[in-house]
Amino acid sequence: MRQLIAGNWKMNGLLEASAALAGALRRGADGLDCDIVICPPATMLMTVAHVLVGSPVEIGGQDCHAKASGAHTGDVSAAMLRDAGARWVIVGHSERRADHGETSAQVRAKAIAAMAAGLTPIVCVGETEAQRVSGDALSVVGTQLAESLPEGFAGVVAYEPVWAIGTGKTATEDDVRAMHAHIRTCIGAGPRILYGGSVKASNAASLLAVPEVGGALVGGASLVVEDFLAIAKAANRG
Ligand code: 13P
């Protein structure tokens, strides 16, 4: 299966610079043999979608509400994301699980809402440093998957060890191999399994070559077009 390189811009950028970044990505993405998705902040979706019309680069949201509409001040529904041009949405990112206390049950409800609205959910899982040190990484992630993925899941799983996000530390290839094999056993054949956590141009090729790694979810390096394209080229293996 083609690998998927997804950029999570998180809460960064303003419209003008983001449109320029999307434009540069559009120009650089020609001929790449992988799927590319970028997830800008919600206020930028329409602008970025406009820049990317006719391009193979697709866009996603960074979160959605589990309900279709209603009295949920400040939230954005999956249908609103789709309406703005998104085809994907990240749900259950560890920053949302930590900052907003999101539970796996809520993540599951969001994944259901995303699929109902015609979006492909990218469901994030991953252990903390303490959980890895205590030897619980596999069981923690297994539980997150069991509780976060709905019946009939038609999306992507992103394994992002919390301690590797924004820290410059990455999981070893052996750890990634073991975790991705475990996730495959838990979820069965089908969904792509992305690795995320300090993916850079310099480590992308080795991480993307690990069995069962179906792509990458990239934070910081997705804000620098040369770095993001270099990661996408590392996935360029058909
Ligand atoms: P970094 O690539 O900045 O470590 O972020 C990873 C991430 O959280 C992507 O969702």
Split at pLDDT 50, 70, 90, the class of 1 is: confident
Average pLDDT over residues 208-216: 97
CA of 204 to the centre of ligand 1 (A): 13
Which residue's CA is minimally distant from atom 9 of ligand 1? Answer: 219
In a domain, 98, yes or no: yes
123 - beta bridge partners?
A: 91, 157
Q: Is the pLDDT of residue 238 over 80?
A: no
Q: Is the pLDDT of residue 217 over 80?
A: yes
Average pLDDT over residues 37-56: 98
Average pLDDT over residues 222-232: 98
In a domain, 193, yes or no: yes
* Most informative mutation of 39, 89, 198, 231 for ligand 1 (most atoms within 8 A of CB): 198
The number of C-alpha atoms within 13 Å of 29 and in the hemisphere containing its C-beta is 22
Q: Look at the chain and report how many structural domains it folds into.
A: 1
> Which range of residues forms the domain containing residue 202?
4-233
pTM score, whole prediction: 0.98
**What does the pLDDT read at residue 55?**
96
Which residue's CA is minimally distant from atom 7 of ligand 1? Answer: 219
In a domain, 131, yes or no: yes
SS (H, E, C) 11-33: CCCCHHHHHHHHHHHHHHCCCCC
In a domain, 86, yes or no: yes
For the stretch 132-162, pLDDT in tens is 999 999 999 999 999 999 999 999 999 999 9
In a domain, 161, yes or no: yes
Work out the burial of residue 173: count CB atoms within 10 Å of its CB; fewer than 13 is exposed, 13-18 middle, 19 or more buried.
middle
Average pLDDT over residues 103-119: 98
CATH number for 88:
3.20.20.70
Pairing of strands 35-39, 88-91: unpaired
In a domain, 238, yes or no: no
For the stretch 65-106, pLDDT in tens is 999 999 999 999 999 999 999 999 999 999 999 999 999 999
